[in-house]
Amino acid sequence: MVKLSLLFSDIEAGAGTPTDDFIEEELFCNTIKKLIKDSKAQPTDLILNGDTFDFLKAPYGHIYPRHVTQKVSIAKLDAIITAHPKFFSTFANFLKASKTNRIVFIVGNHDYDIIYPKVQRKLRSILTKGLDNPKKRVVFSGFEFTDGLLHVEHGSQLDAFFRVNPKTFVHPGTKWLTEPFLLLPWGVNALYDVVIHIKERYPLMERLYPKEATLSKISWKFKKELVLEMVLYFMKSFFITQFSERHDPLRRFRFADLWLYLKPFFAMSFHLNFLTEARKKLKKNNYQVISVGHNHTSSIYKVHGKTILNTGNWRDEYFYSSEVDAFLPKLKSYGYVLHEKNKILSCELREVGSKQNAIFAQDLTEEALASRRLI
């Protein structure tokens, strides 16, 4: 039996605040609408390979609690649903279109929250309204999903910065916080104590790539402030906070962790490096295709005769072109895999042009960095 797997990663649908980077909802929904036609020819899985939602940068009221309880996650999900009604109705339409269509959610590092049963229940109920067998139609597969020769995972579990232990990930609670909470990686502290405030002030900055090009376009003063603030934060966390807040497991920051974070500053290299691990995994296992996302870089290539498919991202992003001296909107992309149980029939990376305007280097003022680029 032939099956179609559609693979999407890093959509990052947020709460509609300045930190929400999912701008091209229209383009995304139109793409899914076209794919609904294809889904009618055979059973089809729409595999949402992590960071589908941006719980991480979605506020809870006006704050960003470091301890994410189920209640916090549900409130964030409600805000995301309110901000992106079309996104959710498009998924519901995909499920309605054929009885053999399924949606598979894989956990990424922006949506660890979908591990909570109440979050799963809520998502499932709004996506399967009026449909039979909701549990079969919307699948929560945890950190990875394997279907025959196709293996799918976000990539964050292969990345030292974001890896968590799935078995101990939901902390049972403590004396001072009696509800269970997520044992998030240490970097989330840095995000909520420092980075989120920069992101709120300059939403566009973090969407520009490569980071080296962005850094070269912003003033020295700003750059120095940014780097200094981060380095001081690492030091404070290592020498002070982890001891003064010893009761809090989220504050633990060992020497190996400190080095992990300081290394990119010394090397001035800010790329996520998890693909070596992906290659090792591919070699060790029987999969023919391994599909990842996470680093927002779409690509398809062969290793040892097998395929690595990186499905890129759908959040708003730009890449610097020296020929134009401008940051050009990146192409959106997704994976299109036709397969049988023991055979991959075809495996494609498909691209969709963004509708956003280019950002010329000369126009990249502090004011521009503070804009959200809504069209």
Binding site for Mn ion (CB under 5 A): 51, 108-109, 294
- CB of residue 281 to Mn ion, shortest distance in Å: 17
Within 10 A of 284 (CB to CB), how many other CB atoms are there?
A: 8
Q: 7 burial class (0-12, 13-18, 19+ CB within 10 angstroms)?
A: buried
Which residue number, 19 or 39, has a Cβ lying nearer to Mn ion?
A: 19
- CB of residue 153 to Mn ion, shortest distance in Å: 11
Which residue number, 109 or 189, has a Cβ lying nearer to Mn ion?
A: 109
Dihedrals phi, psi of 275, to nearest 5 degrees: -75, -25
Tokens in use for 201? 């002030």
Q: What does the DSSP 8-state code read for residue 13? A: B
Which residue number, 50 or 203, has a Cβ lying nearer to Mn ion?
A: 50
Q: What does the DSSP 8-state code read for residue 357? A: P
d(CA 282, CA 279): 5
d(CA 332, CA 312): 7
- CB of residue 295 to Mn ion, shortest distance in Å: 8
Which residue number, 57 or 217, has a Cβ lying nearer to Mn ion?
A: 57
- CB of residue 159 to Mn ion, shortest distance in Å: 8
**CA-angle at 199, arms to 198 and 203, nearest 5°:** 125
- CB of residue 154 to Mn ion, shortest distance in Å: 6
Which residue number, 51 or 316, has a Cβ lying nearer to Mn ion?
A: 51
Determine how β-strand 326-329 pairs with β-strand 359-360.
antiparallel
d(CA 92, CA 97): 9
Q: What is the DSSP string of 177-204?
A: --S-EE---THHHHIIIIIHHHHHH-TT
- CB of residue 222 to Mn ion, shortest distance in Å: 26
- CB of residue 174 to Mn ion, shortest distance in Å: 28
Which residue number, 109 or 237, has a Cβ lying nearer to Mn ion?
A: 109
- CB of residue 112 to Mn ion, shortest distance in Å: 10
d(CA 232, CA 71): 33
Which residue number, 149 or 292, has a Cβ lying nearer to Mn ion?
A: 292
CB 123 within 8 A of CB 66: no
- Residues 6 or more apart from 147 whose CB is under 8 A from it? 3, 5, 45, 339
Which residue number, 102 or 110, has a Cβ lying nearer to Mn ion?
A: 110
- CB of residue 33 to Mn ion, shortest distance in Å: 26
Q: Report the C-alpha dihedral over residues 119, 14, 314, 18, rounded to 10 degrees.
A: -170
Residue nearest to Mn ion (CB): 294
Q: What is the DSSP string of 203-271?
A: TTGGGEESHHHHHHHS-HHHHHHHHHHHHHHHHHIIIIIHHHTTT-GGG---HHHHHHHHHHHHHT---
Which residue number, 105 or 238, has a Cβ lying nearer to Mn ion?
A: 105
Which residue number, 35 or 107, has a Cβ lying nearer to Mn ion?
A: 107
CB 242 within 8 A of CB 194: no
